[in-house]
Structure 1
């Protein structure tokens, strides 16, 4: 390695992102193809009660976003949960293991989520080309397309992401507007179409829809691993997170209520949950065809593929950076640290981590592509991890009191956030805790084993906490 390359290697990740790239990253991940599924399934099965569930989920995720903003601005490092966990716990060995456990749990949980997202988008891509048969080639194609922008400069990735995101959001707003104005084959919008035997404020229906509603927002914290590449994170991260959540709420509410009001809810439910809607895995294609025929189905298929693309581009930006942050400190399964800490000398992106992550999530998606089932499984584990985000803010206030906190919350925010998340978890999965809790237990158990093995393989490398510094070094 020559001096020029060595100098670049020491330079680390590029700090080039502002408020709008952060906004794009948050919205691009959250407004995914799977949220088209969860939104339409929610609106069509329980009606306007889903909108109430959506508002509750928004408030809970807003608190999460604020906790995420404090942690990511206090410790603006690519490792995200790994960094926060290892800084919040004051005991050397326990701090590293805690950080590794949280990071691996988050990474492993996305084995479910990445699979469902790629699958949902691949259904759309397959429909766009009028193809039938195995979904595997479309899953591979979607993964490759999402990987390519992450091999170049992060700023280039953000530009590509923004361009696709605008088109995808425009599609959603177009269908919502067509519904509200009556500009479609399904006819004029009418409030009577929302009248059903399920009350708007019927708590049993709202509670049952919380998992789907929660899914409409999960992922806003994916901006955290990009904190190290964000200019002025104190301003740009909180602003991007809050604006992103508001945009997501507005899009879901406008599109869902607009489309659903054009014909009776029971008719939508029968079509969306039947064979034409892939038994609930692709209800958006039913919507497209019902409203505008073949070209409407094609447009919705294109929007679905674009939604998956924006989501997976961000996934393959954020998740590899968590591995990179761990490897940079020497804690990624011993000798693997050197490979995963590699940055491309020109683009300053973690190529090895990106490519390995893409392959892993692609393989899972090929073998597991029941979108609705994976939404529930992934959501359960994700909600538990959200509780940890709030707890890390609270714990770090006491264990790391002297660190500078550019964005500091009232302590009531993470406390309310943790309580609200526990509330959502309990009611959203009533009667199903055994099923989805067990699947989550596999993720967390595997993450703990991986954390202990990684720490043991690190050998004599141990994290040294330097007061007043965000980083760390190994001795």
Structure 2
């Protein structure tokens, strides 16, 4: 996309709100129960640790976005760092896969909330919702960041109400009262699962070409979005495990609605509606992102050229979008939320390893940049991503 067609109108406020909105819509409304099932009352610790694991990689993305403000994103970063087109292809396909799995997890979780409002089966909710969202992606949606900020405000308001309800409830959880010793294999497995809820900070870099003063705005927006989201997640999970027994929380398809009901004694239809809106936003964002990556790969690699086509009527990559939408629906019907989120986290952690490695290599031959992080940052990001992968395996095998 030529620079001449883009206008730098995005400031730090809207960019931060965009990042928070993407991350909040990535699964906090559906993951709290899964995380609590793995880590018990230490779910807030798992969320905070996941935020720390994401931090160095977020800083690496910030520098790379200033060095290469391209729509190709991670594909361009890895190809520039390693000089290997085939590795860039693998990374691109991994990002497409992670987008499909992420959207499937959010779609399945959002369907759980939708069934509490509308009397349809979860399977019907997944199919109807997936088809509708994919159709919107094919038609093309012109969303301004101001509209995205409104959605973000609604989502954050819903989380704030959950925190208020949970903190106001009596600490009825037997697990909370007993304060058992932490089970670290479960906590480490939960960290990898929690990492799914931070998916989105890497999407911020795709707006670098449209951001005012990206040298300053991009790093600030990424860090603020990550910090705000981590605090929200920790507070929500603390309120949840405080108010609801772990067994009930982990078994619920609408865990945050359950926290509201326990804390206030009132129905949570409005919260379910907010969760559905957040899910729609998250699924649409992931389908559009994955389809664009597949479209870009089709332009770069002849074996995927069929996906480089653009529909004459709507001007969108229709074949890529149809494939992604179908994959999202299929995965949401077959796999549970926890497994989808865990698989997504593993794929993205692997991508983060390669992105951090690429920045290490880029810094060796081109140290100067308009924005730079310390040489230790990509090393830490690489080691933390590797460590998270190893810890997940430990937790899964324990």
Return the TM-score normalized by structure 2.
0.86
Mapped contact 2:29–2:256 kept (Cα < 8 A): yes
Mapped contact 2:308–2:317 kept (Cα < 8 A): no
The within-5 A match list for 1:376-395 is 376-395=342-361
Instruction: Evaluate the alpha carbon distance shift between residue 338 and residue 212 of structure 1 in structure 2; reply closer, same or farther with a 3 A threshold.
Output: closer
Query: Which residue pairs with 1:105 in the alignment?
Result: 94
Query: Which residue pairs with 2:203 in the alignment?
Result: 222
Instruction: Evaluate the alpha carbon distance shift between residue 270 and residue 338 of structure 1 in structure 2; reply closer, same or farther with a 3 A threshold.
Output: closer
Instruction: Evaluate the alpha carbon distance shift between residue 384 and residue 334 of structure 1 in structure 2; reply closer, same or farther with a 3 A threshold.
Output: closer
Query: Which residue pairs with 1:452 in the alignment?
Result: none
Instruction: Evaluate the alpha carbon distance shift between residue 33 and residue 378 of structure 1 in structure 2; reply closer, same or farther with a 3 A threshold.
Output: closer
Answering whether residue 62 of structure 2 is matched by residue 69 of structure 1, we say: yes
- Greater mean deviation of Cα atoms: 253-262 or 103-112: 253-262
Query: Which one of the candidate residues 29, 47, 66 is aligned to 2:22?
Result: 29
Answering whether residue 107 of structure 2 is matched by residue 118 of structure 1, we say: yes
Query: Which one of the candidate residues 256, 275, 289 is aligned to 1:284?
Result: 256
How far the C-alpha of 1:248 sits from its partner, in A, is 0.8
Query: Which residue pairs with 1:406 in the alignment?
Result: 370
Q: Distance in 2 between matches of 1:198 and 1:160?
A: 44
SS at match of 2:374: coil
Mapped contact 2:165–2:264 kept (Cα < 8 A): no
Unaligned ranges ≥5, structure 1? 1-7, 435-475
Query: Which residue pairs with 1:270 in the alignment?
Result: 247
Query: Which residue pairs with 1:454 in the alignment?
Result: none
Query: Which residue pairs with 1:51 in the alignment?
Result: 44
Instruction: Evaluate the alpha carbon distance shift between residue 337 and residue 427 of structure 1 in structure 2; reply closer, same or farther with a 3 A threshold.
Output: closer
Query: Which residue pairs with 2:282 in the alignment?
Result: 311
Mapped contact 2:46–2:194 kept (Cα < 8 A): yes
How far the C-alpha of 1:222 sits from its partner, in A, is 1.7
Query: Which residue pairs with 1:40 in the alignment?
Result: 33
Deviation per CA, 1:281-319, whole angstroms, max 9, x where unpaired? Answer: x433433433345622x1332232122123223324433
The within-5 A match list for 1:226-375 is 226-262=207-243, 268-274=245-251, 277-278=252-253, 282-293=254-265, 295-296=267-268, 298-327=269-298, 330-331=300-301, 333=303, 335-336=305-306, 339-340=309-310, 350=316, 352=318, 355-356=321-322, 359-375=325-341
How far the C-alpha of 1:13 sits from its partner, in A, is 5.4
How far the C-alpha of 1:63 sits from its partner, in A, is 0.8
Q: Larger C-alpha radius of gyration, 1 or 2?
A: 1
Deviation per CA, 1:316-360, whole angstroms, max 9, x where unpaired? Answer: 443334344445x543646436525x8999xxx745477446524
Mapped contact 1:115–1:362 kept (Cα < 8 A): yes
SS at match of 2:309: helix
After superposing on structure 2, the runs of 4+ consecutive aligned residues of structure 1 that deviate more than 6 Å are 190-193, 342-345
Return the TM-score normalized by structure 1.
0.73
Query: Which residue pairs with 2:148 in the alignment?
Result: 161
Query: Which residue pairs with 1:438 in the alignment?
Result: none
How far the C-alpha of 1:120 sits from its partner, in A, is 0.9
How far the C-alpha of 1:150 sits from its partner, in A, is 8.5
> Higher RCO, 1 or 2 (CA under 8 Å, sep at least 6)?
2
Instruction: Evaluate the alpha carbon distance shift between residue 299 and residue 291 of structure 1 in structure 2; reply closer, same or farther with a 3 A threshold.
Output: farther
Q: Distance in 2 between matches of 1:134 and 1:195?
A: 35
Q: Distance in 1 between matches of 2:215 and 2:312?
A: 26
Q: Distance in 1 between matches of 2:305 and 2:40?
A: 53
Instruction: Evaluate the alpha carbon distance shift between residue 320 and residue 16 of structure 1 in structure 2; reply closer, same or farther with a 3 A threshold.
Output: farther
Instruction: Evaluate the alpha carbon distance shift between residue 75 and residue 188 of structure 1 in structure 2; reply closer, same or farther with a 3 A threshold.
Output: same
Instruction: Evaluate the alpha carbon distance shift between residue 25 and residue 236 of structure 1 in structure 2; reply closer, same or farther with a 3 A threshold.
Output: same
Query: Which residue pairs with 1:416 in the alignment?
Result: 380
Instruction: Evaluate the alpha carbon distance shift between residue 114 and residue 211 of structure 1 in structure 2; reply closer, same or farther with a 3 A threshold.
Output: same
Query: Which residue pairs with 1:464 in the alignment?
Result: none
Query: Which one of the candidate residues 159, 171, 181 is aligned to 1:172?
Result: 159
Q: Distance in 1 between matches of 2:292 and 2:237?
A: 34
- Greater mean deviation of Cα atoms: 109-118 or 45-54: 45-54
How far the C-alpha of 1:406 sits from its partner, in A, is 2.1
Mapped contact 2:189–2:396 kept (Cα < 8 A): no
Query: Which residue pairs with 1:127 in the alignment?
Result: 116
- Bigger helix fraction: 2
Instruction: Evaluate the alpha carbon distance shift between residue 160 and residue 28 of structure 1 in structure 2; reply closer, same or farther with a 3 A threshold.
Output: same
Instruction: Evaluate the alpha carbon distance shift between residue 333 and residue 343 of structure 1 in structure 2; reply closer, same or farther with a 3 A threshold.
Output: farther
How far the C-alpha of 1:27 sits from its partner, in A, is 1.9
* Alignment RMSD: 3.3
